[in-house]
Structure 1
């Protein structure tokens, strides 16, 4: 992993662990969470240009194997202080599993919301929905605060840090400052009566100067991420919309949250507190209650498929995908850094027979032909996706896996193999190879260029795209990012419809970006990146419509239309905007 990517990977989780992170003055604007009727002016604006976020998350702590994720992934990040990792890690290992709303609990609440949505045409409709969802948000917030408080009370390290930080000899100790800031943040948050009060607080500037301010900003990001992982997914959706929607200027017409499946890579197949089937059902209902504004990508795990073939897993990953696509999911999510290449795993094992022999890896799956079995599972997915024109989003940054070797499997060379065998596969290279694009290290640009090289007009990469998920450089170093993206667009300009201007898409990677602490300007900064209004229009929506196959008559569009008809969902804004004649 190169320096920029490791730094970005570190920053992504540093806030969760209470580490000092250089961030902006505040996390969010002081907007309260307000759930809206689908036709509310706060979320619906047919005059605004099409805006699609192709890369986000709205999961909570019951959707992940939290304990193993902390131990095997987060613990690898650069500079993580063991004591702080243990404190926050212990909290997420126990509390998030047991107290965050599980899928079945959220489904019960979504049924209540659906009943309230029936009153949207009445004057009482919007207030009724707001009251119901505010109660949900407050309930989850109180659970989070209680668990944070319990963690603080049970932590000698945090308590002693608050005392030690007063000692001038320890005042510049980064670890102690971070621990003290986490303790102070928990105590401060515990005094806030409602989630709305907490959201307002997030809009305020952190007190202190120098290292103290840095530590407090970091702690605020840490706790914000933890609290978000206790929330209902529906509340998280509206937190996101409240953060980025600017009524009268730009609103998010379509949000594509990515689901994940790490069970077999990290937890020996032990299921998450919210089952994958339950998560799919929850996201189905999310699409319904938001009027088609939120459509997820369902995860496919080739190792689960291998385990199913060996009668070790109770369900097939491919069958989960097929079911989810019929229930409102737009496409499929792949996460190669967990331990598999897009294709070529057989050759990988031939070169390195012990590649998957890791202490955390399930011994039952350490087979002499594991690589071939992974390739077979992936080929089954790709064939289904090509035959049915289904889009895939893949994590292509070499980060956030349980080992450096596994992270390297996200590289472009493996996707070149997949596209050669399955030409025309609809693929979004999530993170564009490196989230440090536009930063100080040339390797990030090189990786992006490698993926851009896979984009073709009529060749095997005719449906290859990339997104801007977690491109914090656009916030931290806007001018250098602007220069870098302009250069790559210029370099690919001669490729016609395969130029980057026609293949680069807007993505945030929210809620992972929460720990950054200054993400409220993410969308606004990207609006200033492109000199050409046409390129900007393509980036924010048109390219995503092409990637996902959302245009009239395309298979994904037809599949979603059947979903809307089945659930009596009126034509969503994104569909209306795509069908509008475009000005030259």
Structure 2
């Protein structure tokens, strides 16, 4: 694309300064060749739960450099040393991610029993071999034998960053620091020790384990999710994971959208038949792809929704576009084609709506709900059902004037409220009477990953005040986990019970908690009543023998 990125990522949010930098918080995410998940929390509720926002994609589904910069390495560094370690680690992880995660077409062949899947031992060996190669590259980088630009463009890491990273790992492996004098001077045993040190390091290990998690089969990611969240809440009835489409915006390649759609189609059947949880996915729409090749991205949307049991469309504005009013040629026309088709076919749209993770400095602000407010003023879009995802941190008020980026200064990404984005959403729902506008509470990590009772109280207080002011019947907030992104958090295995308890402590009544945990999602998705969405899902479930009784439980009088 020729766009310059802020390095490592410009838009970092409230969640980024709260996560990852505590010893061992994810020490059990991956161990050896098997997932060793922590025990799930308990959550007993006598009604369904719908997770309206989660993900099962792996590293083959998004550009590798994007995975590292955009997903894995977006956390704030607490000190200069850690910042230097992370800058060096960014390049190493690009190498570590290469050529291991199964591509969508290969997993599709496995799911259709046309190919053999790798065993857990084989996958673990492939991960470790690639990590071994990454450590060989680290030694070469530290010795000035290679350039970081070979692996990550652009990169601000220099030789001193790699020297520091290698010395840090050597110390943890109890190796003499001078062993890295040329790759030939490092034995296989030395590099093996560095690999193990990287896995077990309090900070570096978090990144390594998350990257290795991203190398899994998508089906394994889904089943890991179910082991954690289904076991703690047997009432979990429906999950709606999203696939992504980033490769026109960030460097690298990804599994074609059609292949990803077909994989999720097969997984929807497996999850329902083997686990009793219904799964209907969100397909990504990229307006840039659509602008360059009119009809291409919309064709994938129609295929997924009309033929493969998908239930909605996912948009990701921080890649580089707004809901409306874009100056880049063709973007608005592409979005309008999508909006028109969704209105005509009763298809819901979910959009990332947090000032975070922009592909360029300043792009996080493109996700502002103000842009969606402007769109919904058009009469032809008044019936568009929208979910503005990642509600609930109130950053623009709590962190007014702070930069969203922690490792990188980007004045365009400063929190500029009040009003908070939550307030804008509230005013759009209440004052503008946009009754089809929703927001989800996915990745509300402040109520899970931190031990700050003061922060917990403040978030609950703000949430209670928001409901009283804008949504007294609690008809517009929805529950979501944002798995597998949530796997980076301390206590992520307790997310469901923590959220249920947090809502109760925020003064939300049981009846209104039911709205948030399932009724609102049923309304947003179009499953609460007879109509095109319910008809499509019913037909799909009948065709693939998935049962339809569960739909009756989601009907709302």
TM-score (norm 2): 0.74
Distance in 2 between residues matched to 1:480 and 1:546, nearest whole Å: 31
Distance in 2 between residues matched to 1:25 and 1:406, nearest whole Å: 30
**Cα deviation 1:348-394 (Å, max 9, x = unaligned):** x4xxxxxxxxxxxxxxxxxxxx25x2111111111111111111110
- What's the counterpart of residue 160 of structure 1? 167
Distance in 1 between residues matched to 2:323 and 2:99, nearest whole Å: 34
1:277 to 251, 258, 264: 258
Q: Which runs of structure 2 are paired with 1:329-368 in the superposition (5 Å)?
A: 329-345=310-326, 349=327
TM-score (norm 1): 0.71
Q: Which runs of structure 2 are paired with 1:112-261 in the superposition (5 Å)?
A: 112=113, 136-156=119-139, 157=162, 158-164=165-171, 186-187=195-196, 216-246=201-231, 249-261=233-245
- What's the counterpart of residue 319 of structure 1? 299
Distance in 1 between residues matched to 2:243 and 2:461, nearest whole Å: 31
Distance in 1 between residues matched to 2:370 and 2:222, nearest whole Å: 35
- What's the counterpart of residue 56 of structure 2? 58
Cα pair distance change 1:535/1:218, threshold 3 Å: farther
The Cα shift of 1:465 comes to 0.6
Distance in 1 between residues matched to 2:28 and 2:424, nearest whole Å: 35
- What's the counterpart of residue 577 of structure 1? 553
- What's the counterpart of residue 436 of structure 2? 463
The Cα shift of 1:415 comes to 0.6
Cα pair distance change 1:440/1:183, threshold 3 Å: farther
Cα pair distance change 1:295/1:137, threshold 3 Å: farther
Distance in 2 between residues matched to 1:242 and 1:99, nearest whole Å: 24
Distance in 2 between residues matched to 1:30 and 1:307, nearest whole Å: 40
Q: CA RMSD in A?
A: 3.8
Cα pair distance change 1:483/1:23, threshold 3 Å: farther
Distance in 2 between residues matched to 1:282 and 1:435, nearest whole Å: 36
SS of the residue corresponding to residue 254 of structure 1 reads strand
The alignment status of 1:429 with 2:388, answered yes or no, reads: yes
Contact 2:542 2:548 in 1 (8 A): no
1:557 to 524, 530, 534: 534
> Between Structure 1 and Structure 2, how many residues are aligned?
471
Distance in 2 between residues matched to 1:185 and 1:418, nearest whole Å: 52
Distance in 1 between residues matched to 2:549 and 2:29, nearest whole Å: 27
Distance in 1 between residues matched to 2:101 and 2:396, nearest whole Å: 34
Unmatched 5+ stretches in structure 2: 1-5, 140-161, 178-190, 401-414
**Cα deviation 1:312-337 (Å, max 9, x = unaligned):** xxx61111111111211110000001
The Cα shift of 1:155 comes to 2.2
Cα pair distance change 1:319/1:166, threshold 3 Å: closer
- What's the counterpart of residue 49 of structure 1? 47
Contact 2:172 2:197 in 1 (8 A): no
Cα pair distance change 1:245/1:188, threshold 3 Å: farther
Greater CA deviation, 562-571 or 498-507? 498-507
The alignment status of 1:454 with 2:460, answered yes or no, reads: no
Cα pair distance change 1:29/1:399, threshold 3 Å: closer
Cα pair distance change 1:554/1:221, threshold 3 Å: farther
Cα pair distance change 1:482/1:241, threshold 3 Å: farther
Greater CA deviation, 135-144 or 52-61? 135-144
Cα pair distance change 1:139/1:73, threshold 3 Å: closer
Contact 2:527 2:534 in 1 (8 A): yes
The alignment status of 1:493 with 2:493, answered yes or no, reads: no
The Cα shift of 1:401 comes to 0.9
Distance in 2 between residues matched to 1:508 and 1:376, nearest whole Å: 32
